[in-house]
A and B are shown apart, each in its own frame.
Chain A
Amino acid sequence: MNDVELRLRAGLGSIADSMQPDIDRLAAVAAGNRLRRARTTGWVTAGVVLATLFGLFAWIALPSRQVTGIPAPAAPTTAEAPITALGSLSFADRQPVPTYRSVDFSVERTGNRLTIDVVASRVDGGPPSKNNFPDVTAGTFWSANIGPGLVVALVPDRAKIAQLPNWDSQSLGLVGVGATAVALQREPGVQFDGLVWLGSDGIVQDSHHIVVPSALLKVGSTERVVYRDERVGVWGVFWSEAGNGAAMPLATEPARSVYVSSAGDGSLASAIGFLPVGGRDPELTTRPGVEWTSGELGESGRVAFLAVGAAAGAKPLVTSATYTDQTGKRLTYYP
C-alpha cells in the first residue's frame, strides 16, 4: 500500500468520525410505512385487472421473441432442493454489429439464494466472457457489468423490460426461478442508469427500488401503460401486444409545454402526451375519428393522455391540447 492510500484511509476515518447523525427514527418508520402503502394502493387499484391481462400475456407472449429459453428440469419436491433454469439471449443480425453475439444464463435457485453463471460470446470469435455470481438474493434486482458495454441483470418477476434509449436489450423469463434474465448492450458512450420493467402484477418498477409513477390508459381495445421514471431518466409505454414497448429519454422532453409523441402500429396510430408539471383537466382537439383518454401517473401529479385513430392521413392525431395550469389558467397548446 502506498503513501497516498495510507493517508487516505487514516484521513477518511478521521473526517467521518466528526460526523454525528441527526436522525428521526420514528419519522423513518412513518415514511417507510407511507412508501409501503403507496405500493399496496397501486397494486390494489391496478393489479386486479392488470394481473389478468399482463400476467397471462407475459407467460404466453415473451417466449415468442427471437430469444430462446430452455425449460428447467422438473421442480424438486422440497423447497431447499436446487432448481436450475437456463436461458439464451441472442443479439444476432444487429446493425451496427454489437460486440457480443449472445448471452447465456444458468441460474440455480436454492431456497432464496441464487447462483448465476453468465457466458457472453463475442461476435469476433474471441474468448467468451465467463462469470460466476454466487449467493445472490432471490426476489431482488441484480445486475452486473460483465464486458465492454454489456450489462446483465435479473429482474425478480416475469416482467416486460423497457427498451432503454441507446441500449439494445433482450430478455427472457426463466422458468422455475421466478425471474427474468436481461442482457443489454450499449452504444458507445452511453451510461447505464438503471432498468425499468412492468411486473406481472401490473406495477412499473425500476432498479432503484422504487415504484415508477404510471397509468393504464385504454382507448377501445388499445391499452397502454404510460410511465415516467425521473431516476432512470426515461418516459415510455408498455403495450399489451407482443414486445416490450418503447422508451424515450426525458432529457429531450420540453419542460413547459405539452409533449406529444406519435407512433403508428399497423392500421392504428397512437399519440402519448404529457401535460406540464401541475397541468390538469386536458381537453384535446383531434382529427376526425380519433378517440382519447387521460389519467394521472400514480400520485406524481403528472397527467398523461392517449389518443388513438386510423394510421392513414398526414394530419397529426392531436391538433391542440387545452389544460389548466398550476395557477388555474386555461392554456391551449398546439403540438
Chain B
Amino acid sequence: MVERREVQEADFLAFVDATSAYLARTAYLLTGDRDAANDLVQETLARTFAAWLRVRPGEAKVYARRILVNLNTDRWRRRPVTTAQWLDPADLANAERTVDDRDQIVRMLASLGPQQRRVIVLRFFEDLPEAEVAAVLGISVGAVKSTCSRGLAHLREDFATTREGQLS
C-alpha cells in the first residue's frame, strides 16, 4: 500500500514538473496577476492529486485545466471589485516593449469581461476548438461563439481606436 502511494506521488510529481509552467501561463492570462495565478495553480494541483486515482494518465492535463478554469471562475465570483493589475515592475522595466502589441493586448485583455477573457484565452492561447471550450466552461458552443465574437469585436474596436490615435 505504501509503495503504491509512493508510486502515485512520484507519478504526480512528474506531472507537476511537466505541466506547472503550462498551468501557470494559463492562470496568469486568466487572472492577470502573478500571485493569484500561482495560488490558483497550487490549489489546482492539490485538487488534481486528491483525484489522482480517478484521473486517466492521458487526461490529467485536461482534467487539471478544467479544475483551474473552474477555480478561477469561483475566485472571480468571490473577488472584491478591483481592476486586474497586468503590468508589473518587470514588464514596465522593459521600456522598449511598453508600446508594442504585447502591452496593448495586456491592457485590452484586462478590459474584457471575465467570461469573454476565459473564452479568448482558451480559444487563442490554448487553441482549443469551440466545442472543447464549451466543455471546459460548461456552456454551449453557441455561447462560446457569441462570447468570442463579442470579445473580438471589443478588441477590434480597441485596435482601431489605437491606430486612429496613432495617426492623429
**Roughly how many angstroms separate A22 CA and B39 CA in the complex, as a whole number?**
9
A145 touches B159 (CB 8 A): no
Cross-chain contact A11 with B54 (CB below 8 angstroms)? no
Tell me whether A137 and B51 are in contact (CB under 8 A).
no
Q: Verify B49–A8 contact, CB threshold 8 A.
A: no
- Of the candidates A8, A32, A33, which one forms a contact with B105 in the assembled complex, judged by CB atoms under 8 Å apart? A8
> CB of A15 within 8 A of chain B?
yes
A16 touches B25 (CB 8 A): yes
Q: Which of B69-96 contact A (CB under 8 A)?
A: 70, 74, 86, 90-91
Shortest beta-carbon distance from A205 to chain B in Å: 12
Interface membership of chain A positions 189-225, coded 1 if the CB is closer than 8 angstroms to chain B and 0 otherwise = 0001010000000000001110000000000000000
Question: Is B47 within 8 A of A16, CB to CB?
Answer: no
Question: Given the complex, which residues of B lie within 8 Å of A24, measured CB to CB?
Answer: 42
| Given A144-B134, A145-B138: A17 in contact with B25 (beta carbons within 8 A) | yes
**B7: Cβ under 8 A from any A Cβ:** no
Q: Shortest beta-carbon distance, B126 to chain A, in Å?
A: 9
The complex places the Cα of A231 from the Cα of B105 at a distance, in Å, of 31
The secondary structure that dominates the B interface is helix
Report Cα–Cα, A19/B9, bound state, in Å. Answer: 26
The interface residues of chain B lying within 8 Å CB-to-CB of A5 are: 124, 152
Interface size on B, residues (CB 8 A): 58
User: Contact check: which of A11, A29, A145, A192 meets B102 at CB < 8 Å?
Assistant: A11
Instruction: Kindly provide the distance from the CB of B158 to the nearest chain A CB, expressed in whole angstroms.
Output: 9
Select one of A3, A15, A29 contacting B28, CB under 8 A: A15
- Checking B51, B106, B135, B155 against A15 with a beta-carbon cut-off of 8 angstroms, the contacting residue is B106
Q: Which residues of A contact B155 (CB under 8 A)?
A: 4, 8
Within 8 A of B (CB), among A27-42: 27-29, 31-33, 35-36, 39
Given A4-B152, A21-B24, A137-B56, does the pair A208, B105 have CB atoms closer than 8 Å?
Answer: no
Contact between A19 and B34 (Cβ–Cβ < 8 Å)? yes
Interface membership of A327, Cβ < 8 A: no
Residues from chain A with Cβ under 8 Å of B34 in the complex? 19
Beta-carbon contact of A139 and B41 below 8 Å: no
Q: Are A208 and B70 in contact (CB under 8 A)?
A: yes
Contact A27 B49 (CB under 8 A): no
Kindly state whether residue B116 has any CB partner on chain A within 8 Å. Answer: no
Contacts of B23 in A (CB 8 A): 21
In the assembled complex, the CB of A95 is this many whole angstroms from the nearest CB of chain B, namely 25
Beyond contacts A7-B159, A10-B101: 13 other A-B pairs, Cβ-Cβ < 8 A, are: A4-B155, A8-B155, A15-B109, A16-B28, A18-B90, A19-B25, A25-B13, A28-B49, A29-B49, A32-B52, A192-B139, A208-B74, A209-B67
CB within 8 Å of B: which residues of A?
A: 3-5, 7-25, 27-29, 31-33, 35-36, 39, 112, 137, 139-140, 143-147, 192, 194, 207-209, 231
Closest A-B pairs by Cβ, 4 of them: A32-B49, A11-B105, A31-B46, A21-B24
* 16 pairs from A and B in contact (CB 8 Å cutoff): A5-B152, A8-B120, A9-B124, A11-B105, A17-B25, A19-B37, A23-B16, A23-B38, A28-B45, A28-B49, A33-B49, A35-B46, A137-B56, A144-B135, A144-B140, A145-B140
